[in-house]
Amino acid sequence: MSYKILIIEDDIDELEARKIVLEHNHYNVETATAVEVAKEILESKKIDLILLDVMMEKDSDGFNFAQNIKNDEKYKHIPIIMTTSVSQRTGFKFDIKEDGAFLPVEKFMEKPIDPDDLIAAIRGLLK
């Protein structure tokens, strides 16, 4: 079975690098550089996992998108891996156990993300 992963990332270099890694590992990939495009993809295609950047056009886009997905009966089953460099930029640290209500995601990964760690996280969530 080939899983379909939606990458939502506004940094084109990051998006393309992740896409290459995922396709090399035999995943089907959809991409969006904005949450509005991501919503359209979700409505038209079956997505198995979302790889979501935190800060996009607005700093809160990723957080808001994740909360909307997890509050929607149609999509709340889709695992989300949230990626960010916010800790490097701001010094704020996020923890799924402590910030779970604010971060309704299954995994939180700090950039730069090692490709092997990313694939391991994806495999863990899709098994």
Query: What's the CATH code of the domain at 72?
Result: 3.40.50.2300
The proportion of the chain whose per-residue pLDDT surpasses 70, expressed as a percent, equals 86
Q: What share of the chain is helix, strand, coil (3-state, %, to 5)?
A: 45, 20, 40
The pLDDT value given to residue 66: 94
Higher pLDDT, 92 or 74: 74
Q: Distance from CA of residue 37 to its chain's centroid?
A: 14
Count of C-beta atoms within a 10 Å radius of residue 15? 19
pLDDT level of residue 90 (50, 70, 90 thresholds): very low
| Residue 30: domain span | 4-126
pTM of the shown model = 0.89
Number of domains present in the structure of the chain: 1
The pLDDT value given to residue 60: 81
The upper half-sphere exposure of residue 3, i.e. CA atoms within 13 Å in the direction of its Cβ, equals 19
